[in-house]
Amino acid sequence: MVYGEYVDMSISWLGTVTIEAKEVAKIMREKLELLEYEFSREKSEKMYSQTYMIVPMPRMAYVYRFDVKKPARFIIDVYETKETHSQKITYIEIPTITEDNERQIRRLMREVAKALPREPWKFTIGQMLQYGIITAWWDSRKSRLAWEFFGIK
């Protein structure tokens, strides 16, 4: 968007994590506290579709929302969707990344990635079988590219 001479250059980020949302939220909170970021936790929900047979069904996911106020302003959402009858997929979503908050977000996400038990994009064999091998492989590739935005390879 253009406001006079100022151009708003913000992007959003979405990446999958192969760990449960509750665990990711716990790690996120620990890292925010460790880095001494000022934040609050808020309740939220996110709408998504689950395919049942061949019909998409609307569903709601509980969102662990972290509203970071300092050192920069940004929001991080952690939530799970149940995309098949047996597999939940965890997402981390950052709706707005700008020049003002990018450095702090990168620092936080690197710390979060280090604290995870495995690379965030690596599905276990069990997860791949539950989710579908081709779909899991494709999502893993997309997620790996997303995490590379933060310098995590």
**What CATH number is attached to the domain comprising 36?**
3.30.310
Burial class (CB in 10 A: 0-12, 13-18, 19+), 34: exposed
- Residue 45 within a domain: yes
> 68, 96 in Cβ contact below 8 A?
no
> 77, 64 in Cβ contact below 8 A?
yes
pTM for this entry: 0.81
pLDDT per position in the chain (153 positions), as tens?
444 444 456 788 988 888 899 999 999 999 999 999 999 998 888 887 776 667 777 888 899 999 999 999 999 999 998 876 667 889 999 999 999 999 999 999 999 999 999 888 887 777 777 666 656 666 777 888 888 988 887
| Range(s) of the domain holding residue 106 | 9-148
> 68, 60 in Cβ contact below 8 A?
no
- Residue 1 within a domain: no
* Domains in the chain, number: 1
